[in-house]
Structure formats: C-alpha cells, structure tokens
Structure 1
Amino acid sequence: MNNIIKEITPLTQNDCFTIFSRVKQDFDFPLHFHEEFELNLILNAPGAKRIVGDNIEEITDMELVLVGPNLSHVWTTHNCKSEEITEVTIQWHKDLFDDKMLRRNQLSFIRKMFERSVRGILFPRETIEKVYKRILDINQLQGFDSVLELMSILHDLSTSKSMRVLSDATFNNDQVLNYNSRRIDKAFEFMNANFDKPITLKDLAKLVSMAEISFSRFIKKRTGNTFIDSLNEIRLGHATRMLIETTHSVAEISYNCGFNNISNFNRLFKKKKHCTPKEFRENFSGTRVFI
C-alpha cells in the first residue's frame, strides 16, 4: 500500500458529480484510490495498461471502466503510441444515491452494479458504443438535466449483459472503512461547512457531545485519519477546486481554505498531490465541470 496514494478530489459536498474531459498524449497520474465512484471512458489509447486492484491488462482503442470507492487504479502509457488520447472521467460521491433509494425495485440493477464495482467493472465494446457519445456530451447539459442523464447512463450500463469484474475477490484495500456513525457524519458536515475558519478538536468534540480525547480516538478508529488529517484533506480538496476554477493567487487560496501558513500549505499539497500548487495549476489541462 505504500506506493498507492489517496487522491483528494475537488468534489465538494454541495456537488452531485464532476466531469473531467481532456485530450492528451500519455498517462502520468500515479496509482491511487479515492472515496468517490469513478466512471472512466478512454478512447484511442490502444496499448495502454490498466491496473485496477490486482488486475493488470493492456487495453484496446475503446475502454469504459467503473471503479468503486477506495479501489486502487491507474492507467499507464505502456505500449500506447497515440498522440490524441481522449479521456473523460466522471466522479460522484458514494452517498449521491441513498441506500434506501437503491433498494427500490426499479434501481436494483444499479445497486447490484455498484456492489460489484468495489472490484472494478469493465464494460463490453457493444455497451460502450451505445453510450460513449452520451458520456462525451453530458457536460453540455446543465443542472437537473445532467443529473438525470447520468442516472440514465448508469441504468443502461447496469443492464449490460457482459460486464466483467476486474479485481480478484480476495483483493481488498485495507484503507476501506465504513464510517456508519452519525457523530462522524455530523463532524464532517461541520468541517465541510467551515473549512475556511479556525476549527479545533475541542469544537468538534463539543459538537458531538464527547470528551476531546475520546473523540480523537473515535475519529481515528472510524476513518483511519486523525482529526487534523481529516480537516487538512477537506481543505486541500477545496484548494484544488479553487486552483482549477479561479485565478486567485496560491497565497489567497491558502488563506481562503483555512491554512494560515503558506509554507505548511505548500508542503501538505506537494505531499498529497505530488506537485506544488503552482505546478498543479500550470499542468492542468482539459475541462472540468461541476454539477
């Protein structure tokens, strides 16, 4: 697990999903995982290599994969010679579709697909040919219409006859944790709503009616992160969003995200994203749409 990084996506609690579309010559993102679902469409990249969990395969010129929460994955250039690789990535929160909602008969296929996606799902070419243009065009829609289109695409994918699970059933990411706690949910809602303000362990402990030391142990046990690590990840997620969407200086973004020390912000950002905030902004290419 030491070579796998946890990606902090710029998707906030107020977003339904995000679409990232770009044309490029190679794959350069490291092996990673994140808490969000991800649907990845890759066109014109024959010879590239896909790693999902413990599955490693060379891909063809048309690829569509659904990756569940906390499953490690990466695409590498490998033997791909193409100079115009198209990649469209859609990410959404794992709780976007409520569990009770997914239990309804009409959504049973999507629920089963989501359950299988914890091992990664590869869709057959026949299915990709039916939906890829809709995936390419989804960012042309706005608001509620785009959410409906995403649900429609997911439904069509869930009824695919020949989807293939990629990772072995015994492969498991030991970073996968189920919070299943109203106190944790309440604490994270507070941190997401107030990330730009000073937040202390005492504030959160009081919020959930626990002693500081008890809450400190509780959040570590339930999430795998300390309080300060959890807060920093939330703040860094908002910072990456601002680097993409605004022209604010790195210093402004640092302070606007609750970091009072820009040196500390730069250090944490480079540790998590493997580049400086400035490099992240300069290297960013393509279009990112938040819904």
Structure 2
Amino acid sequence: MQANILREITPLTSSDCFTIFTRTKKEFDFPLHSHEELELNFIDNAKGAKRIIGDHIAEIDELELVLVGSNLPHVWQTHKCKSEEIREITIQFHKDLLDEKFLRRNQMSLIRKMFELSSKGILFSKETIEQVKPKLKILSQKQGFDSVLELLSILHELSVSRNMLTLSNHSYSGPEHSYNSRRIERVIEHMNQHFSRNISLEECAALVNMTPVAFSRFYRKRTGNSYINALLELRLGHASRQLIDTTHSIAEIAYNCGFNNISNFNRIFKKKKNCTPKEFRENYNYGNRIFV
C-alpha cells in the first residue's frame, strides 16, 4: 500500500491481559497504522465509512466487526458516512495472550486457526455480530478474571462462527520471531522493571553474559527489533498509559518513564504516535478505556 503507516505503540503493558476502549464520535480521525497487538474492532452506525485492512479497501455497512492481526496496517475513514453518532468498541490484546503450546491443544484449534487468519484481517458476518454484540457491550462492565473469561468466550464464539471473510490478499505479519529464550525473557523483565532509569546496552548484555555486539545481534534476531528501539517503545507505552490513567504533568510523566529531556520526549512522542502528548491525552478523554 503506497502510504505512510504509523506504527502505533499502545498503552497495553506486559502486566495487562487486554484493554477495551469504548467511545461515541462523529468521524474517524486516526491515520493508517499498525501495532503488535491483535485488535477486535466493533463499529455501529457508520454506514458509508471506508475500511482499509492491508491491501483491502471497501465501504462498510451499518454493523462492523473485524479482527485485525499483529502488525497488519488498518484504518477506518469517515468517507461517505453521515452519522452524527458512530459507536465504537475496540479491544486490544497481546499476540501471546494465549500461550502457543496451549493454542495447540485440540480444544483450541479453532481459535488458533482464527488467529492465523487474522494476519489478513477477518470480517465477521452480520449474524455473528448480532450474537456477540451484547457480550461486547457488557465486557467493559466486568472486572478481573471474569472479564478475561468473557473475552475468551467472545473469541470462542467468533472462532466457531460461519461465513468469516478474510480481507487482505497478503499477510503483513512478517517473519515470525521466536521469543522462547530465557535470555530474552530475562532482559525484557529487566527492562520492564527499570525502564524509568538509564538502562544501557552494556548492562543488559552483561545480564545474560554476552558482549554488547553479540547481544545486539541476538536481540534483533530473536525479536525483530533493535534493543534501543524496543526500550524506546516500552517507555512510550508506559508514558501513554500514564497520560490516560493519571493527572501527572507531561514533564513528570516524561521523567517517570526514563526521558531526561522534555523537548526530546515531545519530539519522539510526536514522531512515533503522530500527535503530541497533550493531544494524545485530550483524544482519550472522549472515550472510556479500561485495562484488565
């Protein structure tokens, strides 16, 4: 697709199972983007809007439910939609929410197949949407383990539904990178615990008894991302979360998340998320986001 694709860094942290975001709006204003997390997007009362998923483009109907796979570019645009009250429920969850070995159990085969198909985007039928719509609407009212069970129930119901339609002709998931490494897990855990201070490449390399050069190559090969960029994205994710969850000033949040220069934080945030921290905080005030 000949367009700039924003890589969205979501506020979903490694400690969360999923996040659900509900809002009512008059238009779609987020740019074409992708993110590692899987996304289930329900849209009501937006007939005539345009859906772009990978290389697929189409106008949508009154009801819309799409499962977007990891790193798949996607966007909804206002286009011909005249609605004054577009209702949207967005659920984002980690691609490893369900362990790979668990997904290979017989009882999980349909959910595993659905996740695989999501690399091209899945549009669910109107009948399926009507069936799961009540569950989607009450999900944000549930808490703790009950909400996780409810999400699993929704995913199961979607996986056994008929008339799924894959949207993009091509998968954008890219090569699968293996995270099954104790060394990588140890480094990621260390980064999550200490992201608020300076964590050098040398420090993480020493943690797993490797030279900085060897560790840098090893990390990129295993994760598909550089160590420096991974740490930056981790910090921006936590900053996004604090912009939503707290009333701390932007300067406080920047320093809390390991950025020693507020101007540098604003510049990087704008480059990575296509809006300033202030604009990001204001945008999220229009909806209700819950982390589980």
Give the TM-score band, short-chain normalised. over 0.9
The answer on whether the counterparts of 1:177 and 1:222 sit within 8 Å (CA) in structure 2 is no
The separation in 2 between residues aligned to 1:172 and 1:120, in whole angstroms, is: 9
**Could you say which residue in structure 2 is the equivalent of 1:178?**
177
The separation in 2 between residues aligned to 1:31 and 1:194, in whole angstroms, is: 32
**Could you say which residue in structure 2 is the equivalent of 1:259?**
259
The answer on whether the counterparts of 1:43 and 1:87 sit within 8 Å (CA) in structure 2 is yes
The answer on whether the counterparts of 2:119 and 2:173 sit within 8 Å (CA) in structure 1 is no
**Could you say which residue in structure 2 is the equivalent of 1:190?**
190
Larger mean CA deviation between 109-118 and 224-233 belongs to: 224-233
The amino acid that maps onto 2:278 is K
The amino acid that maps onto 2:135 is R
Could you say what the CA RMSD is over the residues aligned between the two structures, in angstroms?
Answer: 1.4
Larger mean CA deviation between 101-110 and 157-166 belongs to: 101-110
Q: What is the aligned-residue identity percentage?
A: 63
* Aligned counterparts, 1:1-291, within 5 A: 3-168=4-169, 171-173=170-172, 177-182=176-181, 183-284=183-284, 285-291=286-292
Alignment deviations for residues 147-193 of structure 1 (CA, whole Å, 9 cap, x no partner) = 0000001100000111111111xx24375551435133332222122
The structure 1 segments of at least 4 consecutive aligned residues displaced by more than 6 Å after TM superposition are none
Larger mean CA deviation between 189-198 and 249-258 belongs to: 189-198
The answer on whether the counterparts of 1:70 and 1:176 sit within 8 Å (CA) in structure 2 is no
The answer on whether the counterparts of 1:5 and 1:272 sit within 8 Å (CA) in structure 2 is yes
Unaligned runs of 5+ in 1: none
TM-score (norm 2): 0.95
The amino acid that maps onto 2:161 is S
Any idea what SS the aligned residue of 2:16 has? Answer: coil
The separation in 2 between residues aligned to 1:22 and 1:107, in whole angstroms, is: 31
The separation in 2 between residues aligned to 1:275 and 1:14, in whole angstroms, is: 25
Larger mean CA deviation between 102-111 and 215-224 belongs to: 215-224
Larger mean CA deviation between 7-16 and 189-198 belongs to: 189-198
The amino acid that maps onto 2:177 is N
The amino acid that maps onto 2:164 is M
Number of residue pairs matched?
289
